[in-house]
Chains A and B, each alone.
Chain A
Amino acid sequence: MRKADIACGLALLLLGGLVLWESLKLKIGWGLNGPEGGFFPFWLAVGLVICSGAIVLKAFFLGSSYTDRPFVRKGGWVPVVKVAVPAFGMVALTEAIGLYPAAAIYLAVYMRWIGRHRWVTILLVSILLPVASYFLFDKWFLIPMPKGYWTVISGLY
């Protein structure tokens, strides 16, 4: 937990530094229209640097106040990765073949891999849910979801 706190604090410190640097480029002083563009982000970044600095220092020197509880309990990261990786996969597939087919594949893979559901259930859910949402969003609410190259591949529209 302590290590994670320090790591996260350092990441925020870095973020604050980056913003500081960018806002200095935008000028932080007084321009023709009052404060310049970099003024607000600059002071925010100063605040962030101070806070993250305090977090890191506190974690570093007052480490005894932490319990031994690890950041992720042993083996706990396995299900997290199992959810996160297919989800990222779905987003990547969405770019290529559109959201509905990507969701169908994602649902099917996840249900088979994690849930070990029967194929009938898998087919039903992974096809019905995207089809239903297609009619709901694309047809009823007229919000077209990304199609990627799906229209080219399938010849459907």
Chain B
Amino acid sequence: MEALGNLLMGFQIALSPYNLFIATVGIVLGTIIGVLPGLGGANGVAILLPITFVMPPTSAIILLSCIYWGALFGGAITSILFNIPGEPWSVATTFDGHPMAKQGRGGEALTAAFTSSFFGAAFAIILVTFFAPLIAEFSLKFGPPEFLGIQMLTFSAFVGLGGGSVPKTLASIFIGFIMAAVGLDIISGQLRLTFGTMELMRGFNFVVAVIGLFGIGEILLTVEEGLELKGIQVKVSWRTVVGTLRELCKYWRTFIRGAIIGTWMGIKPGGATPASFMSYGLAKKLSKNPEKFGNGAIEGVIAPETAAHAAGVSALLPMITLGIPGSPTAAVMLGGLMIWGLQPGPMLFKENPEFVWGLIASMYTGNVIGVLIVLLFVPFFAAILRLPFAILFPSIVYVCAIGAFAVNNSTTDIWYMMLFGIVGYVFKKLDYPIAPMVLALVLGDMAESALRQSLIMSQGSPAIFFASPISAALVTASALLVVWPFISPHLHRKRAV
């Protein structure tokens, strides 16, 4: 019941006219960002991070989280109308969403997608509301070894569940941590890995890295593929919306399944994409007419969208309770928290309740505003993609440059952004996952001090990681996750025989 009281306080903050305005701006910007190629949730939040420095932290996080919701909604628009998944977790939405649009049922598909996004988000938000305080309370007992254990679990989840090449995922994690170590060592005060140059003294800023890796890298990839945007015109009328909503009630099972899968998978890092595929697969398997899937089955839109949006919300749960982000976007927000002068982690609930509860309440308001705005203005958002590429691309590069510069007011950062762009391009082509690298860059300092503090506590003995049952369980679980990709093919083979 305490949660309800706190939530009420949060609503008082989130429903203030200024914060409602901020939320609306965030949703509109976010949807535009989600629609544009080369801009997604993570780098949209990164680019706009500097403008939040002048806001109170609660409004700042409301703006950023609403950009995130908007980007999630925007991803559905491009998937359905243009057959271009703006984000990896919208890939599954294209399977049935685009065929529906081709059959002239675009309005239906979009309504279904937005409604499912909304439902998935709402489901996850309710869970966040009640579980976040419990998790935060529980993790107050955590010391450095436990925090390191959680971090290890986060990164080994990428290795074990990411599905990519194990050495490449690990390499990407190591590179992220190494980049985080560049510059001033917070414990010993030494300069590290600067190779005697002034430029490297400040270290690498994760915002610049995110903008380069995701923004510039993505643009280079898009132009190479020479995507032709052939969108399908659509007009969403209220009659379609109401009719679709009525039809959607039949699929309540798909909604609930998707929301549960999404919420569960989203807590783990990188969970949104597998969640959307799992939910799609399960919906197909359990459907009465699976042969319709791929040819415009409305369930094929509902399932992945519900799961992806639920996962997007629950990815914020570990961020606000433990200070461990579950996705690159959450990582950027976490970086924002530190810049605004808040200490991420379990103490946030005790020290800044108005911030945490304002954020949670704004999840409710933001998603309501979001679903209304996208339903009303779909044609407007779709029109953005009809802008000629020769105008879109340089404008996006320009906006990225502004964002990269504004973090530290340094032109060197714009150069770094371009270099990160090329690294991102090469890594994407060679299937090095980028998300774990960004997470490692953000969490690097925290992980290192947790490791060193633990070792100081134990006088250098690694046995401390097994001293408490929680950290022992976490470390063992992460070790299992790392070896999982090597074991699982054998298990499957046995089952097949």
A contacts, CB < 8 Å to B: 1, 4-5, 8, 12, 15-16, 18-19, 22-23, 26, 30-31, 33-41, 44-45, 47-48, 51-52, 54-55, 58, 71-73, 76-77, 79-80, 82-84, 86-88, 90-91, 94-95, 99, 103, 106-107, 110-111, 114-117, 121, 125, 129-130, 133, 137, 141-146
Contacts and interface: CB of A to CB of B under 8 A. Distances in A.
B352 interface: no
B390 A115 contact: yes
Given A83-B223, A86-B394, A30 B460 contact: yes
B402 interface: yes
A34 B456 contact: yes
B256 interface: no
Contacts of A77: 224
Given A48-B174, A91-B415, A143-B50, A22 B167 contact: no
Nearest to B425: A80
A103 B418 CA distance: 15
A45 B171 CA distance: 10
B167 A54 contact: yes
Interface stretch (B12-20, B67-75, B101-109, B175-183): B175-183
Nearest to A53: B167
B187 A33 contact: yes
Contacts of A116: 390
A133 B399 CA distance: 9
A48 B398 contact: no
Given A44-B174, A72-B224, A87 B430 contact: no
A83 B391 contact: no
16 contacts: A16-B174, A23-B192, A34-B456, A38-B192, A41-B178, A44-B174, A52-B171, A55-B165, A55-B171, A58-B167, A76-B224, A76-B226, A91-B415, A111-B394, A141-B54, A145-B405
B226 A79 contact: yes
Q: Which 6 A/B pairs are nearest by Cβ-Cβ distance?
A: A115-B390, A34-B456, A51-B171, A48-B174, A110-B394, A54-B167
Interface of B: 50-51, 54, 165, 167-168, 170-171, 174-175, 177-178, 181, 185, 187-188, 190, 192-193, 195, 216, 219-220, 223-226, 388-391, 393-395, 397-399, 401-402, 405-406, 409, 411, 414-415, 418, 421-422, 425-427, 429-430, 432, 448, 451-453, 455-456, 460
B394 A80 contact: no
B193 A91 contact: no
Contact of B192 (A12, A22, A130, A144): A22
A120 B50 CA distance: 33
Listed residue (B175, B406, B455, B456) with the most chain A CB atoms within 10 angstroms of its CB: B175
Given A83-B219, A87-B418, 5 more contacts: A19-B193, A22-B192, A83-B220, A115-B389, A142-B54
Contact of B216 (A30, A87, A142): A87
A80 B452 contact: no
Contact of B393 (A23, A41, A83, A130): A83
A12 B220 contact: no
A71 B429 contact: yes
A125 B391 contact: yes
Given A38-B192, A51-B170, A58-B167, A115 B178 contact: no
Listed residue (A26, A31, A37, A91) with the most chain B CB atoms within 10 angstroms of its CB: A37
B410 to A, nearest CB: 9
Contacts of A51: 167-168, 170-171, 174
Contacts of B429: 4, 71-72
Instruction: Please classify the interface of chain B as helix (H, G, I), strand (E, B), loop, or mixed, using the class held by over half of its residues.
Output: helix
B224 A35 contact: no
Instruction: Please classify the interface of chain A as helix (H, G, I), strand (E, B), loop, or mixed, using the class held by over half of its residues.
Output: helix
A77 B429 CA distance: 13
Nearest to B447: A40
Contacts of B399: 133
Listed residue (A18, A40, A82, A146) with the most chain B CB atoms within 10 angstroms of its CB: A40
A68 to B, nearest CB: 15
Contacts of B422: 84
Nearest to A34: B456
Contact of B170 (A47, A86, A111): A47
Contacts of B425: 80
Contacts of B455: 34-35
Contacts of B223: 79-80, 82-83
Given A83-B220, A94-B411, A117 B388 contact: yes
B411 A146 contact: yes
Contact of B406 (A15, A41, A143): A143
B178 A45 contact: yes
Given A19-B193, A26-B190, A115 B388 contact: yes
A15 B437 CA distance: 15
